[in-house]
């Protein structure tokens, strides 16, 4: 599905989704034209309508990243932070889906508590039903625990003045952040399989030989196309009229990938995409980001993603199924004892 917005009416492009009762519809994209009035019916214009909707594209002019970052005025547009402390929670072993939120808070100078927990504490909280989606990251704001990395990132960006003000720029930035999450889903899938054990969705590490194959496929068939998409989106313009959380998402994914693939392969891709490379270099040069990266560097996971020796491969192929079976028995037993369903 796509939405075309311009000076004229808003056009909703609906993709026919393969409905069996209407085969012809599968081959057509239906354009549902709506007048702006109909499109905004029921929408309280006086308070919420974006006044900049029509002029957004005109504002996206070629610019250098340095300029974008310098002209970034923090004092005027920030949403007042909540009075309760912001507590961001994630696993303590590496950075991952929490990193975009951390970057947003760091660049936007929003104070937060960076809570890093071990796997057993994660399981305790999940089983105590303290995690709204049974997963992390979460962001605790007073008594409220928020889940889902993109939603948290959007909220954080609003507090940090890194969320575009006009609706069209906001949608473009959201799209980039949604694509960031899609990419992370695919990337982490090379590492872990998600499997239901004892009626609970669990992440279980893949054998190294499988990881190596999968990460190679991911790099070729997902990351490279994503780089092309980002290069085209940037194309001398910024995604939003000023630096937004979308650019930080691009920075995060590229920096993460650097730790997964061979330096030569990574360099080749970067050389083919100068806009993305320029963006990543300039964000990486921000003093706040540099300071943050000293404490929390992107790690190299190349060793874990490389083709294993035959000996290791055989060992893992014997060990992993046993571990999985042991985990299933342990979780089943735990559930029986606790009466949890």
Ligand X SMILES: N[C@@H](CCC(=O)N[C@@H](CS)C(=O)NCC(=O)O)C(=O)O
Q: Which stretch binds ligand X (CB under 6 A): 78-86, 195-203, 281-289, 332-340?
A: 195-203
62, 237 Cβ separation under 8 angstroms: yes
Closer of 99 and 210 to ligand X (Cβ) = 99
**Least distance CB 4 / ligand X (angstroms):** 28
CB of 96 to ligand X, least distance (A): 5
Shortest distance, position 272 Cβ to ligand X, whole Å? 29
Closest CA to 119 of 87, 149, 91, 140: 91
The smaller minimum CB distance to ligand X, of residues 137 and 164, is found at 137
Q: How far is the CB of 211 from ligand X (least distance, A)?
A: 16
Nearer to ligand X by C-beta: 136 or 286?
Answer: 136
Q: What is the Cα–Cα distance from 130 to 143, expressed in whole angstroms?
A: 11
Binding string to ligand X for residues 297 to 316, with x set by CB under 6 A, is what?
--------------------
Whether omega for the bond prior to residue 222 falls within 30 degrees of 0, making it cis, is: no
Q: Using CB under 6 A, which residues numbered 64 to 103 contact ligand X?
A: 96-97
Q: How far is the CB of 205 from ligand X (least distance, A)?
A: 12
CB of 23 to ligand X, least distance (A): 34
Tokens coding 12: 């909703």
Q: Give the 3-state secondary structure of residue 291.
A: helix
Counting beta carbons within 10 angstroms of the beta carbon of residue 114, is it exposed (0 to 12), middle (13 to 18) or buried (19 or more)? middle
Kind of pairing between the strands at 11-15 and 86-91: unpaired
Burial 121-157 (b: 16+ CB within 10 A, else e): ebeebeeeeebeeeebbbbbbeeebbebbbebbbbbb
When binding is defined by CB under 6 A, the residue of 50, 54, 94, 202 that contacts ligand X is 202
Among 120, 265, 247, 267, CA closest to 180: 247
How many residues form the binding site for ligand X (CB under 6 A)?
A: 11
> Reduced to 3 states, what is the DSSP secondary structure of residue 143?
coil
Nearer Cβ to ligand X, position 72 or 204?
204
Q: Which of residues 113-142 bind ligand X (CB under 6 A)?
A: 135-137
Residue 201 contacts ligand X per CB under 6 A: yes
Q: Applying CB under 6 A, which part among 154-162, 200-208, 245-253, 333-341 lies near ligand X?
A: 200-208
Select the residue whose beta carbon is closest to ligand X and give its number. 135
Which of the residues 220 through 279 are near ligand X (CB under 6 A)?
A: none
Residues 131-190 touching ligand X, rule: CB under 6 A, are: 135-137, 148-149, 181
- 158-195 burial, b at 16+ Cβ within 10 Å, e below that, comes to bbbbbbbbbbbbbebbbebbebbbebbebbebbbeeee
Judged by CB under 6 A, which stretch of 42-50, 196-204, 223-231, 304-312 contacts ligand X? Answer: 196-204
- Using rule CB under 6 A, residue 325 touches ligand X: no
Which is closer to ligand X, CB of 65 or CB of 245? 245
Residue 145: CA atoms inside 13 Å, Cβ hemisphere, count? 14
* Paired residues of 200 in beta bridges: 197
CA distance 56 to 44: 21
Q: Which residues bind ligand X (CB under 6 A)?
A: 96-97, 135-137, 148-149, 181, 201-203
């Amino acid at each position: 599905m796509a939405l075309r917005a311009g000076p004229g009416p808003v056009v909703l492009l609906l993709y026919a989704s393969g409905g069996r009762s209407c085969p012809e519809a599968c081959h057509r994209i239906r354009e549902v034209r709506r007048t702006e009035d109909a499109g905004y019916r029921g929408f309280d214009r006086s308070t919420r309508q974006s006044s900049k909707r029509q002029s957004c594209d005109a504002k996206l002019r070629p610019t250098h990243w340095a300029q974008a970052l310098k002209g970034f005025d923090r004092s005027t547009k920030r949403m007042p932070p909540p009075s309760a402390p912001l507590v961001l929670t994630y696993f303590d072993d590496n950075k991952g889906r929490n990193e975009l939120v951390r970057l947003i808070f760091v660049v936007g100078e929003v104070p937060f508590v960076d809570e890093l927990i071990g796997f057993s504490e994660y399981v305790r909280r999940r089983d105590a039903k303290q995690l709204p989606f049974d997963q992390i990251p979460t962001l605790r704001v007073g008594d409220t625990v928020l889940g889902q990395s993109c939603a948290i990132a959007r909220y954080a960006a609003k507090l940090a003045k890194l969320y575009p003000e006009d609706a069209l720029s906001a949608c473009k930035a959201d799209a980039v952040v949604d694509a960031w999450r899609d990419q992370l889903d695919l990337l982490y899938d090379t590492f872990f399989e998600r499997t239901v054990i004892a009626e609970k969705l669990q992440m279980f590490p893949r054998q190294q030989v499988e990881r190596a194959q999968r990460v190679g496929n991911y790099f070729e068939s997902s990351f490279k196309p994503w780089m092309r998409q980002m290069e085209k989106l940037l194309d001398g313009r910024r995604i939003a009229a000023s630096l937004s959380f979308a650019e930080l998402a691009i920075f995060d994914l590229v920096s993460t990938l650097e730790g997964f693939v061979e330096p030569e392969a990574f360099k080749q891709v970067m050389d083919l995409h100068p806009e993305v490379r320029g963006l990543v270099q300039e964000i990486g040069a921000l003093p706040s980001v540099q300071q943050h990266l000293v404490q929390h560097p992107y790690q190299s996971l190349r060793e874990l993603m490389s083709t294993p020796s035959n000996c290791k491969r055989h060992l893992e192929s014997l060990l992993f199924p046993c571990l999985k079976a042991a985990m299933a028995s342990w979780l089943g037993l735990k559930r029986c004892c606790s009466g949890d369903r």
